[in-house]
Amino acid sequence: MNIESITLVRHGMTEWADRGKHTSVTEVALTAEGRADAQALWKSFVEQGHFDGIYSSPMLRAHHTAILAGFSDPELHRGLCEWRYGRYEGMTTAEIRQEDPEWSVFRCGGPGGESPEAVSGRCDKLLKEWDAKGHRHVLCFAHGHILRALATRWLGLDLRFGDHLHLDPGSISCLGWEHEVPALRLWNYCPQRPVVGPRAG
C-alpha cells in the first residue's frame, strides 16, 4: 500500500452534537465553541508535513472546519459523509434504546439508513481509491462515526470495533503503521480543550 499516514479530523461542535443527537444528512452549523474548536486546529498544522491528498465531507460542518483550520480548498468527497442513520436521524442514543435496548450503530446500523456492511464497504472503497491515486499522506475532515469506521477498517477489523473508539468534536487522530502492521499512531487529540465525555453525531 502507498499510504503512509491518514490524519483524521472530526468537525467542531454543533448544537446537535452537543445535545447528543445523531446527525448525518441534516445540515447543522458549527456553534461558537465549534468554530473555536476548528480555529484551534490550525496551530497543530502550522509545522505540518506535506499532505498530498486533502479531503472533506461535503457537509457544511466538516467543510467549514477544514476552512477554519487553514485548508481553504479541500476536495469534497461524498465517501466521507456521516453514516446515514435513517429513521434515527436527530435522535439521541437514550431515545433509540427505548426502542432497541441493545442498539449500537456499529452493530445495528440505522433503519432506513446504512447498514454496518454498507459503511464497511464504503470505507474500504475510500482506502482503495486513495491508495490507487498514489497518496502517501492523506488529511480528511469528516464526522464521528464515519471516522471511527474508517479507522476500524484501516486496522482490518470488523466494524463492531468502532464501539471501542471514542472521538470528540474538533479532535485529531492519525492512522499509520507499526512496522508492516496498520496501527493507530494518535487518537482523539483535542488541542483546544481537555478530553470530555462521549458525544454522538
Q: List CB contacts of 43: < 8 A, sequence separation 6 or more.
A: 191
Residue 11 is a catalytic residue: yes
* Rounded alpha-carbon distances, angstroms, from residue 185 to 3, 4, 71, 155, 170: 14, 11, 22, 11, 18
Annotated catalytic residue: which of 22, 33, 64, 82?
82
* Rounded alpha-carbon distances, angstroms, from residue 38 to 34, 45, 107: 6, 12, 30
Residue listed under C-alpha cell 467549514: 64
> What's at 7, amino acid-wise?
T
For residues 41 and 170, what is the distance between their CA atoms, to the nearest angstrom?
Answer: 7
Phi, psi of 60 (to 5 degrees): -60, -40
Which SS3 state, helix, strand or coil, does residue 23 take? coil
Give the distance, in angstroms, between the CA of residue 142 and the centroid of all CA atoms in the same chain: 4
SS3 labels along 40-53: HHHHHHCCCCCCCE
Residue 82 is a catalytic residue: yes
Q: Annotated active-site positions, please?
A: 11, 82
